[in-house]
Amino acid sequence: MSKVKKDREKLAYLVRVRDQVLRLQLIQIQLTKEDEAYLIFETLNTRGKDLTVSDLVKNHLARLMKPKNKGVDVLREKWSEMLDRLESSKADLDLNRFLHHSWLSRRNYMGEKQLFVAVKKVVDKSNASDFLDDLLSDAAAYRTVFEPEYHKWTKQEREVVESLRALQVFRVMQPAPMLLAVVRAHFAKTISMKQAAQVLRVMEHFHLQFTALTAQRTGGGTAKMYALGGRSLCEATDKNKAAAVLKEFVAKLRERVPLETEFVPGFVQLRYSDENTKQRNLVRYVLRRLDEYFRKGAPVDYEKFSIEHIAPQNPTSGAPTSRFAEIGNLILVPEELNGELKNEPFPKKKAKLATAQIPFDAVLSKATTAWGDAEIEARSSALAKVAHSKIFVV
């Protein structure tokens, strides 16, 4: 590019900047009351973007909780702490969504767009501090829902942790108000550890069926059900009332459970291979639950297990079976065993699995020399029926 052309471009840029500066308009608004400034903030934004729910809620609280001392700003400190709890999570939590879910878990149902109007009606000077404290507390419980490792659990709470982790595999957001309410009630000892584990396991099984396998459409009715359950649990004043809330909530979930005729087709469509990894986490979760059901010995550390293809993906001779990625051809094995099995012929592979005390289902137990499409299809169907009737029961 020539020097003359560069100089022309620089001049053109400076002219554009000059014109923009000359077109700027400064508007001065004189206020008679400080509170009017907060009202103006709700409708004007110098960035030219719509204010978010969190912007508006924070501004509303700032109007109600003005610092009494220059060095102490309670709102700023607690809001920053709440924000830090959410933003430092590996779960990529959204502040506006959190505010909405926290509200739904405690108060009347409404959409996120209507949330600020509701906050303005309910939160005033008399309860603004308590409202902020609830948000700060909920931020910790909310992060725990989506990042169970954030909380320090006891060994006795293992089932609670496992269900929370499983629900993240299904990538569902609608249960959030109820999940938040359950975790909050568990921390507050409003419900027992056993009750928390039971209701979370029911939610886990429900969404494995409703969301992950049958892809049922969720509408406003489901969202309201979760919000109502959360609010009712929050409002329960004693353990008996909390137990009644959980019982009613579980009954509502059971009314929505897919039929076996819907469950089985979804289950047998589960796939995993080196080329098809989309369902890896879901497949691993299902295989773990199947292994737990069939295993008769002591519990094992599934973090050290990996997915094995009974019929190999890349056999040393001949073409792979067309069904090698299907759930009926998959099993969990210790990582070191996975490396040993490789492309072993089925009889040798089955013998090594037996030696390693890998639990067999009925189809795998009966197979002797052959393992191909017919056996894989039969095992997929058999596992689906066991899963529906024995394992993922709501």
DSSP for 181-205 reads: HHHHHHHTTSS-HHHHHHHHHHHHH
Q: Which residues contact 343 (CB under 8 A, 6 or more apart)?
A: 312, 314, 315, 316
The answer to which of 46-50, 81-85, 213-217, 218-222 has the lowest mean pLDDT is 46-50
Residue whose structure tokens are 């569902």: 172
> Tokens in use for 255?
């009314």
As a dihedral over the C-alpha atoms of residue 145, residue 143, residue 149, residue 152, rounded to 10 degrees, the angle is -100
> Tokens in use for 384?
């689906």
Tens-digit pLDDT profile for residues 148-197:
999 999 999 999 999 999 999 999 899 999 999 999 999 999 999 999 99
> Tokens in use for 42?
């709700």
Output the pLDDT for position 46: 44
CB 252 within 8 A of CB 232: no
Which alpha helices (DSSP H) does the chain contain, by range? 3-23, 35-43, 53-64, 74-87, 95-104, 115-122, 128-146, 158-169, 176-187, 193-207, 220-235, 239-255, 260-268, 280-294, 335-341, 346-355, 362-366, 373-386
Query: Could you give the percent of the chain with pLDDT greater than 90?
Result: 77
Residue 150 burial class via C-beta count within 10 angstroms: exposed 0-12, middle 13-18, buried 19 and up: middle
Query: How far apart (Å, rounded) are the C-alpha atoms in residues 285 and 332?
Result: 10
Query: How far apart (Å, rounded) are the C-alpha atoms in residues 90 and 102?
Result: 19
Residue whose structure tokens are 């299902």: 286
> Tokens in use for 139?
């931020």
Mean pLDDT, residues 3-25 taken together:
83
Output the pLDDT for position 296: 82
Mean pLDDT, residues 75-91 taken together:
96
Query: How far apart (Å, rounded) are the C-alpha atoms in residues 260 and 353?
Result: 31
Closest CA to 123 of 141, 143, 106: 106
Q: Mutual orientation of helices 128-146 and 176-187 as an angle, nearest 10°?
A: 100
Given a cut of 80, whether residue 307 has pLDDT beyond it is yes
**Given pLDDT bands bounded at 50, 70 and 90, which one contains residue 87?**
very high
For 256, phi then psi, to 5°, come to -105, 5
Query: How far apart (Å, rounded) are the C-alpha atoms in residues 187 and 90?
Result: 22
Residue whose structure tokens are 């796939």: 271
**Given pLDDT bands bounded at 50, 70 and 90, which one contains residue 242?**
very high
Mean pLDDT, residues 44-59 taken together:
76
Mean pLDDT, residues 334-354 taken together:
92
Query: Could you give the percent of the chain with pLDDT greater than 70?
Result: 93
Given a cut of 90, whether residue 286 has pLDDT beyond it is yes
In total, the chain counts a number of residues equal to 394
Given a cut of 80, whether residue 318 has pLDDT beyond it is no
> Tokens in use for 267?
């289950």
**Strand, coil or helix: what is 14?**
helix
Amino acid making up residue 171: R
Query: How far apart (Å, rounded) are the C-alpha atoms in residues 166 and 158?
Result: 12
Q: Which residues contact 378 (CB under 8 A, 6 or more apart)?
A: 328, 363
The answer to which of 14-28, 76-90, 366-380 has the lowest mean pLDDT is 14-28
